[in-house]
Structure formats: C-alpha cells, structure tokens
Structure 1
Amino acid sequence: MRNLILTLFIVGVTTSTFAQTKDSMKNFDPAFAHTVYFWFKDPDNTSDRALFEASLKKFLQHSQFAKTNFIGKPPVATRDVVDGSFTYSLIVTFESAEAQEGYQKEQAHLTFIEECKHLWEKVIVYDSFGIAE
C-alpha cells in the first residue's frame, strides 16, 4: 500500500509539473506563417550555433509583431522526401501580412540579421496565408 501511495504521489507531481496551463500555452495563429531555413557556412561550429541561438531568442523575445515561434534543427531523415540539409528552421506566426511587414523592419529583427548574417551561406523563406476554415 505504501508503494502505491508513493507511486500515485510521484505521478501526480510529474503530471502537474509538465501539464500545460492556459497561461503557458501559445496558440498558433493560422493567419500568416513565416518559415525560414538557414544553411550555415560552418554548421558544426558550436560557437556559431550558440551565437545564432542566443541572438535569435533575444530577437523573438523583443519582437512586437511575432505571435508564436518555433526554432528547429533537422532530424535524422528517415524518408526520401525529408530535406534535412538545413542547419536551423524558424517558423513565426503573425496576425496579418501587415504585421509580418512590420516585423521585417523592426529593430530587433535588423539587429539579429546584423549579428548573424556572417554565419549563413543560404537562407530560404516561405510565407503562407492560412486557409479559412
């Protein structure tokens, strides 16, 4: 009985620790998505990666226009249709195309580009409007 109580306690603490709350959830905004892929000149350089991640996170924390964001690295590709050649990906959502235009011109974004543009050899951007439900 004692082990059962201890197990239930641990499960309860773990569940409450990792459960999403309304305050901690970010809702994806389907109005406008800005997807960016970065290819680094030296993708294995840990200092370059640290600089990029710190600068990108700082920029996104200070953006007045970005609603939600996702920073990713490619997984090990298991299917031929998966392109894992990039170094980082970024998906940012906006409430409108106009908000995305403001994001392009805001100082936080311009500072990020200035701090990191020397790291990449290629950047591809895909912008998309959401399809109305």
Structure 2
Amino acid sequence: MKTIKRRSFLTNVAITSALGAVVLPSEAKSKKKTFIHHVYFWLKNPSSEADRSKLIEGLTALSKVPTIRFHHIGLPASTNRSVIERSYSVSWMLFFDNLAEEEIYQTHPIHLKFIADYSHLWEKVTVFDSEEV
C-alpha cells in the first residue's frame, strides 16, 4: 500500500473540492436566463429634434443603473417592409442577467428620476419583456 504524505493529501482534497465547485459554461448558461426589456417611446412632438435629443440624454443617464448588463438606444431604421413598425421615436433595449435584476432596475432611484424628469416628452410607451428560453 502506498503512503500519501499529509501535505499531498490536503492539496489533492483542495483541488478536488475546487473542481467540484466549477460550473461548466453549458451548465452556467442553463441556469442564467437573460432578461430583455425593450421599450418604445412615441414623443408628443415627434418632429422635434430637441425633444428626441432630450430623451436620448435621459436614457444615456439611465444606462448607469448598475444591474443593466448592456443597453442600446435606437431610432427607427430605414427598412421598409409590411411587418416593420417604424412609427416610434426612440427605442431603449436593456439586457439583464435575470428577472430579479430587471426588477431592481424598475425601482432604482435613477430610473424613478428618469420617469419624473422625462415623461413629459412622450405620449405613449410600449414595453416588450422577454426571458431566454
């Protein structure tokens, strides 16, 4: 029977334990359900460059909420097919690690300040939320 030194034994136990705690990428993906929050704004004055710029300024400040993983501010693209909606003024797409992170965003002081400071600019907002399959 082979004798194992105490130090080698403890090192092997530590390595084995650490490897057991490692999550493989495919397992991590299955546990993490990305949450997308996509907002479309229709301005009260859709032809006003100043109002659109002001809203974009507000969205840029709003992007500082720490639970946001990625954000995109967009304008209607020049594409033109029957299935494409182009009547909105500005879109705001956010990626979160999960629904809980998005819920933190909803009540975050930066988000509440954004609504208070900029809601006078829009007449309509439509939101599409989705979770990763």
TM-score range normalised by the length of the shorter chain: 0.7 to 0.9
Higher helix share goes to which structure? 2
Letter in 1 for 2:45: D
SS state of the match for residue 81, structure 1? coil
2:77 is aligned with 1:75: yes
In the alignment of these two chains, the number of paired residues is 102
Matches within 5 A, 1:1-133: 31-60=34-63, 62-131=64-133
SS state of the match for residue 43, structure 1? coil
TM-score by length of 2: 0.73
Aligned-pair identity (%): 34
The question of whether the paired residues in 2 share the 8 Å contact of 1:71 and 1:90 is answered with: yes
Structure 2 gap ranges (5+): 1-31
| 1:91-111, Cα deviation, whole Å (9 max, x unpaired) | 100011010000000011111
Superposition RMSD on alpha carbons, in Å?
Answer: 1.4
Structure 1 gap ranges (5+): 1-28
- Runs of 4+ more than 2 Å apart: none
TM-score by length of 1: 0.73
